[in-house]
């Protein structure tokens, strides 16, 4: 495994690389880090690239969190692929990572070998969603800490059975708690101002796997079904017993659907 970083301006962007084969870029959700994909590194026949988005994991935050956009994350990830001399990759994004993956479709469609949309949605925030994010930014800034925010969000990420898995809950809590105030503010700002991607769905040019936990309350299965129906070359899989984080909650089942997608739709179709 390679554990390394690139420098963008004066910021360090940390990433892991594992395996050989068609590249797959794993983009994590909020407020997490590349660590959510630790169980996916065992998927064979691909070259896993697992960054920490700015401010999360071991990557430095942006200087101006209140001005962060999803597109900044996209630019950093394209910079990472360029630095690694990866022309095309399967882009896999979970929730906020999916918002970034949509932006990659928007600005770099020719670099997609395939797309894996995990517990994410195409719609932008509505007014009340945006207001809730702004209120959480204000509250986190005022308190100077994220602990209450983490406590409130954590149960929404997990299925009922996952909530009864103390090891998983502890791993998730410590991952969420490691996100700095700056990182959380940045990501909330970026998500609040993200564009709607509904009109992009029929334009997605590559094989697409749309996958979600059956018990996800943040992006429920109706959203996953709606997205899959609008993407020309897509298939859908729901993971039983998982909530918003199937790669962590049900890694065996999640990896099985990813392996099948890669084998049937990606591997053998050529790569850079
Ligand atoms: C995530 O899991 O990345 C976030 O819950 C997405 C969101 O807040 O819209």
- CB of 191 within 6 A of ligand 1: the answer is yes
- pLDDT bracket for residue 270 (50, 70, 90): very low
Q: Which residues contact 158 (CB under 8 A, 6 or more apart)?
A: 168, 169, 172, 243, 244, 245, 249
The residue with tokens 């970034």 is: 100
Report the pLDDT averaged over residues 215-224: 98
The pLDDT tens digits of the residues spanning 159-186 come to 999 999 999 999 999 999 999 999 999 9
Please give the distance, rounded to the nearest whole angstrom, from the Cα atom of residue 95 to the centre of ligand 1.
Answer: 5
Pocket test of ligand 1: the residue of 191, 197, 220 to mutate, having most ligand atoms within 8 Å of its CB, is 191
Q: For residue 55, which of 66, 40, 45 has the smallest C-alpha distance?
A: 66
Would the pLDDT of 16 be above 90? yes
- pLDDT bracket for residue 269 (50, 70, 90): low
The pLDDT tens digits of the residues spanning 53-93 come to 999 999 999 999 999 999 999 999 999 999 999 999 999 99
Which tokens belong to 219? 């992006």
Protein residue with least CA distance to atom 4, ligand 1: 30
Strands 234-239 and 208-213: parallel
- pLDDT bracket for residue 267 (50, 70, 90): confident
Q: Which helix (H) or strand (E) holds 5?
A: strand 2-8
- CB of 95 within 6 A of ligand 1: the answer is yes
pLDDT at 175 (0 to 100): 97
């Amino acid at each position: 495994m390679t554990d390394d970083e690139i420098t963008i301006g004066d910021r360090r962007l940390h990433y892991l690389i594992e395996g050989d084969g068609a590249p797959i870029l794993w983009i994590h959700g909020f407020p997490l880090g590349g660590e959510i994909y630790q169980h996916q590194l065992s998927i064979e026949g691909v070259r896993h690239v697992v960054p920490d988005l700015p401010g999360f994991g071991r990557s430095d935050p942006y200087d101006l969190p209140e001005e962060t956009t999803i597109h900044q994350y996209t630019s950093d990830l394209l910079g990472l692929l360029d630095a690694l001399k990866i022309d095309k990759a399967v882009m896999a994004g979970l929730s906020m990572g999916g918002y970034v993956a949509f932006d990659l479709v928007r600005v770099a469609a020719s670099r997609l070998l395939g797309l894996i949309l995990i517990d994410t949605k195409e719609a932008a925030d509505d007014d009340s969603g945006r207001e809730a994010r702004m209120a959480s930014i204000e509250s986190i800034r005022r308190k100077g800490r994220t602990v209450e925010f983490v406590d409130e969000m954590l149960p929404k990420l997990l299925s009922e059975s996952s909530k009864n898995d103390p090891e998983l809950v502890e791993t998730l809590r410590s991952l969420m708690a490691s996100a700095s105030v700056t990182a959380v503010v940045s990501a909330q700002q970026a998500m609040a101002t993200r564009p709607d991607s509904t009109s992009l769905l029929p334009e997605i040019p590559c094989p697409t796997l749309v996958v979600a936990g059956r018990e996800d309350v943040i992006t429920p299965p109706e959203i996953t079904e709606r997205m899959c129906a609008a993407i020309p070359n897509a298939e859908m899989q729901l993971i039983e017993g998982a909530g918003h984080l199937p790669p962590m909650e049900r890694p065996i089942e999640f990896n099985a659907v990813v392996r099948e997608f890669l084998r049937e739709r990606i591997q053998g179709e050529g790569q850079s």
